[in-house]
Amino acid sequence: MKKIILSLAIISSAVFINKAVAQFSQGGTPFSFTVDSRHLPSFENKTMPPLDLDALKAEDAVNDLSKGPFRFGYNHYVSLNLQNSGTWTTLPNGDRLWRLGIKSPNALTINLAFDDFFMPKGASLYIYNTSRDFVIGAFTDVNNQKDKAFATDLIAGESIVLEYYEPALVVNQGRISLFRVTHAYRGVKEYATKQFGGSGSCEINVNCPLGANWQNEKKGVVCLVVNGGEFCSGSLVNDVPQDGKPYVLTANHCSTSNDWASWIFRFNWEAPTCTNPSSSPSTAQSLSGSILCARNTPSDFCLVQITGGLTNNTVPASYSTYFNGWSNIDVPADSAWGIHHPSGDIKKISEAANACTAVAWTGSVTDHWQVGLWTQACTEPGSSGSPLFDQNHRIVGQLHGGPSACGNTGANMVDSYGKFAVSWLGGGTSATQLKVWLDPNNTGATTLNGFDPNMHIGVADNNISTTPFSIYPNPSDGNFNLEVKLATAQNLTVKVINVVGEVVSQNLISNVLNGKYIIDLTSQPKGIYFAEISTFTQTTVKKIIVLK
């Protein structure tokens, strides 16, 4: 590790950044992008060992015959931290900058996992590729988790830079310990660089006519990055209290590495229309980090709770999520639909317009539902863990496996899903069942409809008369009036979030009762934003539109 004291004058320069990834972050610009590079020293670079691609592809050829996770990357295990790697630079005002370059030759993308991550107040971490056109961050103290873990979404390219900025007031308080570097060698163009079509030709985008009646349910389905280098699918699942706890149901076979703390959950990863888009959709947003709640092998279920990037202990309102409902009644569905991310591709929908059948995965216990032949589309590796919905739009299982594939016909166009009804009581303990988590008050519920949290806090309707907050004009050129009418004086936090989950503005207004305040977004590009207005007792989210 190198340490350098910078005594030269810093020279500002204009830079352009393409904010390419929508991981929950605070936005902004890396410090090194704002200065003349001639006044910053070089920094240490680490190169990962080469891969045996032939061996990996031979393994994939076998693994892809099952409906397991779709492996896209190879995990390099490392031990790199602020003390043993990278280069420190002390700035004239006492602030410090740490940079570390990582290269994994011929990688399509790189993603990272940390086992000790702590950002003190005012500090920030950015990660970007060496061409500086793909940036994630800033990651700050809002990304700190109790388990000290952190993971990143996929970053395009074979060479990346970690850049940590630490103000003088918090020198030596930050912790960054990197334990895994994942080298993507296949199947990630669809995920990271937004080039589509990695899944089979028969797959149907979720916003095609087949998905017209599933526009709520699709919002709860997520693409998962698990075990560092694998794709699976899962779904937010509602609980009886309908309190927005971010539970995600997926398959147990997606959690073989027990690394839930570094899982990535990508929301809204879909084409906006029926056809594949020609450019990157702006809808995809992701969160990282979770804890295990329960899992069990017979019905192949795994329930985790997202821990990173939450707002008021749930998924940020700007993600426009939906918590899917369920049925624990052991009765076959008359017809069934699957929503999933085959091969890590954008969100797809499949239909089986005939009744499911109870089957045994192994042994004689009928712990799975087999779809009665897919009539439109099917599933693939990477679809593992995705929800199976019955005709009442409720989850009745999650994908375990099966022979279906584009081009197959007849009896091979089936798949098996672990029964939600069997997972409900599971192995009889809190660690092996769904019931204790999804019905914590033991109400005896057998079915539960889906839950849209945004309908309860104002995202869906900007003109709810009961709200004490109003924003106008809307749309505007970036200048918005916030009118507040409260019954008692309270402190008010106004946070504005863009469609990729970045906080672009945040202000605290003290002792507010009645009045008008300005939200200034004139420096932001045109588009849709979400104003999250919070007091001690309530939170309201309003969609606002900047037109220029």
Q: Go through the domains of the chain in sequence order and give each one's CATH number.
A: 2-190 (no CATH), 194-448 (2.40.10.10), 458-546 (2.60.40.3080)
Q: Name residue 492's beta-bridge partners.
A: 509
pLDDT above 90: percentage of residues in the chain: 65
If pLDDT is split at 50, 70 and 90, which confidence band does 3 have? very low
Q: Residue range 353-368: average pLDDT?
A: 95
User: Exposed, middle or buried: residue 159 (CB in 10 Å: 0-12, 13-18, 19+)?
Assistant: middle
Lowest-pLDDT range, 182-191, 296-305, 364-373, 433-442?
182-191
Predicted confidence (pLDDT) at residue 406 exceeds the cutoff of 80: yes
Query: What's residue 475's pLDDT?
Result: 85
More confident residue, 20 or 404: 404
Query: What's residue 458's pLDDT?
Result: 35
If pLDDT is split at 50, 70 and 90, which confidence band does 21 have? very low
Predicted confidence (pLDDT) at residue 297 exceeds the cutoff of 90: yes
Cis before 69 (ω within 30): no
d(CA 488, CA 531): 21
Predicted confidence (pLDDT) at residue 193 exceeds the cutoff of 80: no
Predicted confidence (pLDDT) at residue 283 exceeds the cutoff of 80: no
If pLDDT is split at 50, 70 and 90, which confidence band does 459 have? very low
Q: What is the pLDDT of residues 133-162, one digit of tens each?
A: 889 989 999 899 999 999 998 998 999 999
Query: What's residue 510's pLDDT?
Result: 80
pTM assigned to the model: 0.78
Q: Residue range 429-436: average pLDDT?
A: 98
d(CA 14, CA 34): 7
Lowest-pLDDT range, 459-463, 527-531, 539-543?
459-463
Residues composing the chain: 548
Beta strands in 41-195, from DSSP E residues, in sequence order = 45-47, 70-71, 73-81, 87-90, 96-103, 109-118, 124-129, 135-139, 150-151, 155-156, 159-166, 175-184
Q: What is the pLDDT of residues 300-328, one digit of tens each?
A: 999 999 999 898 899 998 899 999 999 99
Query: What's residue 188's pLDDT?
Result: 65
Predicted confidence (pLDDT) at residue 14 exceeds the cutoff of 50: no
Q: Name residue 417's beta-bridge partners.
A: 369, 399
Query: What's residue 129's pLDDT?
Result: 94
Q: Is 32 helix (H, G, I), strand (E, B) or coil?
A: helix
Q: Residue range 501-517: average pLDDT?
A: 83
Predicted confidence (pLDDT) at residue 192 exceeds the cutoff of 60: no
CA distances (Å), 211 to each of 223, 337, 376, in order?
17, 10, 11
Q: What is the pLDDT of residues 56-86, one digit of tens each?
A: 999 998 888 778 899 999 999 999 999 999 9
Mean pLDDT over each residue of the chain, to the nearest integer? 88
Q: Residue range 110-115: average pLDDT?
A: 96
If pLDDT is split at 50, 70 and 90, which confidence band does 548 have? confident
Query: What's residue 547's pLDDT?
Result: 84
Q: Residue range 474-497: average pLDDT?
A: 86
Query: What's residue 537's pLDDT?
Result: 65
Query: What's residue 133's pLDDT?
Result: 87
Q: Which DSSP helix (H) or strand (E) runs through 248? A: strand 247-251
Query: What's residue 392's pLDDT?
Result: 95
Q: Enumerate long-range contacts of 14-19, CB under 8 Å, 24 or more apart.
A: 15/132, 17/132, 17/133, 17/135, 18/133, 18/134, 18/135, 19/135, 19/500, 19/502
Predicted confidence (pLDDT) at residue 55 exceeds the cutoff of 50: yes
Predicted confidence (pLDDT) at residue 456 exceeds the cutoff of 60: no
Determine what percent of the chain falls in helix, strand and coil, rounding each to the nearest 5.
10, 40, 50
Structure tokens at 449: 């409809």
If pLDDT is split at 50, 70 and 90, which confidence band does 465 have? very low
Query: What's residue 281's pLDDT?
Result: 59
d(CA 358, CA 350): 19
Q: Which residues are catalytic?
A: 253, 300, 384
Among candidate residues 423, 344, 412, 420, the one with its CA nearest the CA of residue 384: 344
